A and B are shown apart, each in its own frame.
Chain A
């Protein structure tokens, strides 16, 4: 990302000369890149689409953040955007970066309690007010297909075990009792916990209409939460006043691992194409991918 052009864009938006002091790239998903920007108008985050479905997804993400903000959901503030891709050829938006405090993965922390409350509030919103209309009966199947397409988007050999897992997911889909706005990637790192203790939800690229249990299962079973999975699950059950059944929990664990595996498959493609040559991306595209696939297959075999 070119510092000079970004500074020009910031200056045109703010009406004053803006200096961009540094840009640091972060890996953040199959459809967009994230850049941390130090500028004379503050610390900012730039979310920029990459090739493929990224352009469409980032506009949906931007619209969702604005809609949720209007509804009083604490989301990161979008400062500026270029939805037509006039500056870099692909759309991007700029959000404020909070004074981020160190976040641990302790489900007993105040930050965790606030986060779970925020997520629960999100799930109670009417999805049709914030996301494109979707048939709730088809919502889960649509998501399975979405991640399958993402996984295959960068080519590479067929993965029979992933194909088998996809069939298992279609066969074991639970009925969605209530359609919700699902964040899709909720972990404490997706939240900006400021030094004042504010919890603001961000990283909405995977949000969709679906079953809220997807989010709770993700929170309890992704890499950072795994060591204390039972505590996260208990916290979610207390907050929602719901007991998740064993079958339901297993399904959503498998679904989230399928999603993780499909996303991580794309990282190897990005690395090999030269889009991003960071060691982190290569490791995510190999070791993290295989690890998620192994855990997924273990659930499929049990189930």
Chain B
């Protein structure tokens, strides 16, 4: 479905859009459609489970609060592991969102 949105905007709509602002918005929408088609399920639950498992006994009711506490203590036994997981999750977002950044910069994204 999202592939159809992106393709139609690219091949049918965009060639007829001459107003610069409308063109910019159309390119951003193409980027969003490609991103939406690729991103899969919301990763939040999986990510929290991964962090909770790494925290072990240090996991409180609010997993992210527990992670903040661990990051604030450089001597905590899972400090390095939690940081590694959080950075890996951030990198996953950054990688998936490259298409959005390109579109924001006015580049017509591939895909």
The interface of chain A, by Cβ under 8 A from chain B, is 24, 157-161, 163-164, 167, 278-280, 282-284, 286-288, 290-291, 293-294, 297
Contacts and interface: CB of A to CB of B under 8 A. Distances in A.
A286 B92 CA distance: 12
Nearest to B25: A279
Contacts of A291: 94, 97, 101
Interface residues of B, number: 30
Contact of A287 (B82, B91, B101): B101
Contacts of A288: 101, 104
14 contacts: A160-B68, A160-B70, A161-B71, A161-B87, A164-B68, A164-B83, A167-B71, A280-B28, A283-B32, A286-B97, A287-B97, A287-B100, A290-B97, A293-B90
User: Taking chain B's interface residues, is the majority helix, strand, or loop, or is none over half, making it mixed?
Assistant: helix
B94 A283 contact: no
A70 B28 CA distance: 42
B93 interface: yes
**Among all A-B residue pairs, the 7 with the closest Cβ atoms:** A287-B97, A279-B28, A287-B100, A160-B67, A158-B64, A164-B71, A163-B68
B100 A286 contact: yes
A284 B91 contact: no
Contact of B62 (A158, A282, A287): A158
B103 interface: yes
A290 B93 contact: yes
Contact of A167 (B21, B64, B72, B87): B72
A164 B80 CA distance: 13
B13 interface: no
Contacts of B71: 160-161, 163-164, 167
A185 B97 CA distance: 25
Interface string B65-82: 101101110000000001
Interface in B22-52: 24-25, 28-29, 31-32, 44
Given A160-B86, A288-B104, A290-B90, A278 B25 contact: yes
Nearest to A290: B93
A297 B84 CA distance: 11
A294 B96 CA distance: 13
The CB with the most chain A CB atoms within 10 A, among B24, B29, B90, B103, is that of: B90
Nearest to B93: A290
Given A161-B87, A290-B97, A283 B104 contact: yes
Contacts of A286: 93, 97, 100
Contacts of B104: 280, 283-284, 287-288
